[in-house]
């Protein structure tokens, strides 16, 4: 069974730039969620995708956007990067269904983004 994989592992960007982070779901999982984890904090929910549609969103501005592809892989895009966007970005997959949450999330090792 292949786990959740994320790329790249580390990234350095300049304020104002745009970034794309990638995630491959654990095999058999059709739901992908993205989380932001600041240093010393717990992860914060950005959004979830199910069957290529956004299925829930946390308190993040529209410059955070995403995509899910037919093979259930996913991208997180962040435009107009700010210094506070520096964090570990985690992707998690689950075998969820749209109307219920009964499957735990399995996380990748994340992408460490530094904005200078």
Partner 1 sequence: QKEVEQDPGPLSVPEGAIVSLNCTYSNSAFQYFMWYRQYSRKGPELLMYTYSSGNKEDGRFTAQVDKSSKYISLFIRDSQPSDSATYLCAMSGGGNTGKLIFGQGTTLQVKP
Q: With CA atoms as reference, report the closest residue to 1 among 40, 25, 27.
A: 27
Positions 62 through 81 that interact with partner 1 (CB under 8 A) = none
Residue 41 or 77 having the CB closest to partner 1: 41
Does position 26 interact with partner 1 (CB under 8 A)? The reply is no
Coil, helix or strand for 85?
A: helix
Q: Which of 1, 2, 14, 42 binds partner 1 (CB under 8 A)?
A: 42
Does position 31 interact with partner 1 (CB under 8 A)? The reply is yes
| DSSP H or E run through 87 | strand 87-94
Tokens of 67: 């995509």
DSSP annotation of 22 reads: E
Does position 7 interact with partner 1 (CB under 8 A)? The reply is no
Q: How big is the chain, counted in residues?
A: 116
Residue 44 or 73 having the CB closest to partner 1: 44
| DSSP H or E run through 78 | strand 74-78
Residue ranges in contact with partner 1 by CB under 8 A: 4, 31, 33, 35, 40-45, 48, 50, 55-58, 90, 94, 96, 98-102, 104-110
């Amino acid at each position: 069974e292949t786990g959740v994989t994320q790329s790249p592992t580390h990234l350095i960007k300049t304020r104002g730039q745009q970034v794309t982070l990638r995630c491959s779901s654990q095999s058999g999982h059709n739901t992908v969620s993205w989380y932001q984890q600041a240093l010393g904090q717990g992860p914060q929910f950005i959004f979830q995708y199910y069957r290529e549609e956004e299925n829930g969103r946390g308190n993040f501005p529209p410059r955070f956007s995403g995509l899910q592809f037919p093979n259930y892989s996913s991208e997180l895009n962040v435009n107009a990067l700010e210094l506070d966007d520096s964090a570990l970005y985690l992707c998690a997959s689950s075998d969820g269904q749209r109307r219920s949450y009964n499957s735990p999330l399995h996380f990748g090792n994340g992408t460490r983004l530094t904005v200078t």
